[in-house]
Amino acid sequence: MPESEMIESEAQRLYQRYGPMILRRCRLLLRDEEMAKDAMQEVFVKLLKRPELLNARFPSALLYRIATNHCLSVLRAQRHRQTAGGDNLLNNIAAYDESEKRAVFAAILEKLFKKEEPSTREIAVMLFIDNMTLKEVACETGLSVSGVRRRIRDFRARVRIRGEMYHET
- Examine residue 91 and state whether it is found in any structural domain, yes or no: no
pLDDT in the model for residue 95:
54
62 CB-contact burial (10 Å; exposed 0-12 / middle 13-18 / buried 19+):
middle
pLDDT in the model for residue 34:
94
74 shares its domain with 102: no
CATH number at residue 134: 1.10.10.10
Give the chain's residues under pLDDT 70: 1, 80-110, 130, 162-169
> How wide is the angle at C-alpha 70 spanned by C-alphas 66 and 74, nearest 5°?
170
Range of the domain at 74: 3-81
108 shares its domain with 49: no
Burial call 104-132: b when 16+ CB within 10 Å, e when fewer: ebeeebeebbeebeeebbebbebbbeeeb
Total domains in the fold of the chain: 2
CATH number at residue 36: 1.10.1740
The residue count of the chain comes to: 169
107 shares its domain with 77: no
Q: Are 44 and 23 in contact (CB under 8 A)?
A: no
pLDDT in the model for residue 169:
45
Q: Are 34 and 74 in contact (CB under 8 A)?
A: no
Query: For the chain, give me the number of helices (H) and strands (E)?
Result: 7, 0
pLDDT in the model for residue 158:
83
